[in-house]
Every structure is written in C-alpha cells, then in structure tokens.
Amino acid sequence: MICFPNAKINLGLHVTEKRPDGYHNIETVFCPVSLSDALEVIPSEKKGSTFTSTGIPIPGDPESNLVLKALELIRDTQPGIVHLDSNIHLHKVIPIGAGLGGGSSDAAYMLKLLNDLLRLNLSVTNLQDLARKLGSDCAFFIENKPMFAYGRGDQFEPIDLDLSEYKIVVVVPPVHVSTQEAYAMVIPRKPRHSLREIVRMPADRWRGLLSNDFEEPVMVKFPVIREVKEELYNRGAVYAAMSGSGAAVFGLFSRQSTVGKWQFDPSFQVYSF
C-alpha cells in the first residue's frame, strides 16, 4: 500500500505563552500544499520490519524515524495486533527542517495507512489522539485540510480557506533553523490581530497584517531568508512569509502571473504548484 504525505505552510504564527510543561502555546493557520513524499508499506513474511529511504538524505538514526515510531505506537496501543512485520520505504521529497511539516506528515500518514491496511476502524479522533503522541503538528495531517490551530499546535478549528486561485512558490535557502533556538528567540505575547479574521480577507490584503513571530529574529540571524521573502514580493507575490520556524519561505502569486526564471544559487530548493 502506498500513500503520499504532503507538506503544509503556516499562514501566520503567534507564540502566545510559555506553558508549565516547557512547551509553548501558539496560534496559526495550517494549510496543506501538494509537495509530497511517497510512503510504501508492504507486509513481510519475515520476522521484523525494515525501513529504507531514498530521495533527500534523512539525518540521524533510521530507527528514530517518526514513521517507525508510528508503527510502534500502533503495535503498543491496539489490542490483538501482534504481527506488524513490514517492509517500509520512504521516498523523501519535502525538505527536512524547513518548517513544512514533512516528518510529521509522514508519521500521520503512516497511522492512516496502517489503519486502512489492518482494518482497525480507528476514527479521526482516535487517529488524532495517537498522532499527538508523535509530535505537536502531526495531528493536523489526519484530516489534512485548512485549520486554525492553537494550544501546542495540536488543537484545531476548521477554517474556510481556499488558495486554489493562487500559484504557490516555496523557496528553501541552504540554512538550517533549529526550532528550539527559534523559540528561544521569541518573546511570547498575545497577537494584535485575529488570524481567523485576517485569513477571511483576500490574500492581497494580508501583507502587514498576517505575521509570523519567528520571522524577525530568525531573519536577523539568517539574512538570506529575508532576501528570499523580498525577492518573492519583487517578482509579484501578493503575499509572502516564512513557514513555521523556517527556513522555507512561500509566496502566493496570481495564476495569471509569470513568475519568470529564478536567479537563486543551485543550492536553493524551489518548488511551484
């Protein structure tokens, strides 16, 4: 069985307060985009599971990959599930550590795939509860539709949002932004503007209103991210912003616009959909 875990972008992101458990409460709007990995699971007759990957190299121990953690979570929480021996292959396309949620999406899609493959009949709520154990934004990818997210980014309210009239361009410069370091650079505060109200406006009115609290401190440390955002506006984006804690920057363009040839170094990753 094969599935295609997709990326997300953040439309606005406010860090509102530090929680007693050491995490932060946030407010953001998650929006799925069509940039996708490919995840395949084939039941194995041999004891044990294997995990292989191609595409973008995945740093760290393969055994710590969230896809395998999702597999273990199903094994540990579903009574009667004994044999989950599988050959798992992940073809990685979504840039890693860019604020696009690729790892979280892989984990969530693994839960959904196993739910179908093993006919567990877990509800959306059940799957979201499991996904929250794997990461703060994993639960978003269970329903995988635009959501206003709050709490740790794992509580959701549906939001009416349609970006189909826009071409989305995502640019990932060759810098790595540590999420932990990004949070350390932000002073939590209540937002001045309501994200719910702003995203109801036409996207060409978002500039100056729809903000990401991580942008300014992260751009001070990595000026290239600011340069990418400015370049997107220079090329006609109606709105541009950093996604999550970076380093990916996206721009929304009219479908009729001609973005033209990008003058970025080959080390930059550029996606358009």
Tokens of 145: 């539709």
Which is the catalytic residue, given 37, 92, 112, 137? 137
DSSP string, the chain: -EE--EEEEEEEEEEEEE-TTS-EEEEEEEEEEEEE-EEEEEE-SSSS-EEEEEESPPPS-GGG-HHHHHHHHHHHHSTT-----EEEEEEE-SPTTSSS-HHHHHHHHHHHHHHHHTT----HHHHHHHHHTT-TTTTHHHH-S-EEEETTTTEEEE-----TTEEEEEEE-S----HHHHHHT------SS-HHHHTTS-GGG-TTTS-BTTHHHHHHH-HHHHHHHHHHHHTT-SEEEE-TTSS-EEEEEETT---------TTSEEEE-
| Residue 69 annotated among the catalytic residues of the structure | no
| Residue 204 annotated among the catalytic residues of the structure | no
CB of 85 closer than 8 Å to CB of 49:
yes
| Pairing of β 24-36 and β 6-18 | antiparallel
Which is the catalytic residue, given 8, 92, 112, 229? 8
CB of 199 closer than 8 Å to CB of 12:
yes
Report the C-alpha gap between 267 and 172 in whole angstroms.
Answer: 9
Q: Give the residue numbers annotated as catalytic, written as ranges.
A: 8, 137
